[in-house]
């Protein structure tokens, strides 16, 4: 799994487009210049970690998704959580004995 700056920019552009926003609108909301956002979306410029975190929060996606396109599998997370809950329930029952 490798970082591809052009693909990163495309994911930013696609998320912005899903919201029906222009680059100018998003840049204003993020308090960055339109030119900087334009270069990020074209893959010609990177962004700070702070801006990456702000973008992920703004779009409601993970930083993993923005950086490498990896989506979090909610079914996998649910199964893991159910396993943890089951284990903790077992421990609790043992403590009650």
Convert the pLDDT of each residue in 4-35 to its tens digit.
Answer: 999 999 999 999 999 999 999 999 999 999 99
Determine phi and psi for 92, rounding to 5 degrees: -60, -40
Residue 12 and residue 55 in contact, taking contact as beta carbons nearer than 8 Å:
yes
Residue 73 pLDDT class (50, 70, 90 cuts): low
SS3 assignment, position 49: helix
Instruction: Work out whether the CA dihedral 34, 37, 42, 43 comes out positive or negative.
Output: positive
Mutual angle of helices 34-41 and 23-30, in 10-degree steps: 110
Q: Of all residues in the chain, what percent carry a pLDDT higher than 70?
A: 97
Q: What's the rounded Cα separation, in Å, for the pair 96 and 89?
A: 11
Going along the chain from its start, the domains and CATH numbers come out as 5-72 (1.10.260.40)
Give the pLDDT score at 74: 67
């Amino acid at each position: 799994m490798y970082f591809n700056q052009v693909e990163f920019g495309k994911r930013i552009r696609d998320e912005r487009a899903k919201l029906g926003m222009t680059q100018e609108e998003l840049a204003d909301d993020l308090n960055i210049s339109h030119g900087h956002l334009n270069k990020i979306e074209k893959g010609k410029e990177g962004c700070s970690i702070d801006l990456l975190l702000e973008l992920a929060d703004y779009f409601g996606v993970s930083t993993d998704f923005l950086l490498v396109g990896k989506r979090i599998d909610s079914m996998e997370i649910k199964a893991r959580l159910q396993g943890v809950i089951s284990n903790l329930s077992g421990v609790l029952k043992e403590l009650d004995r």
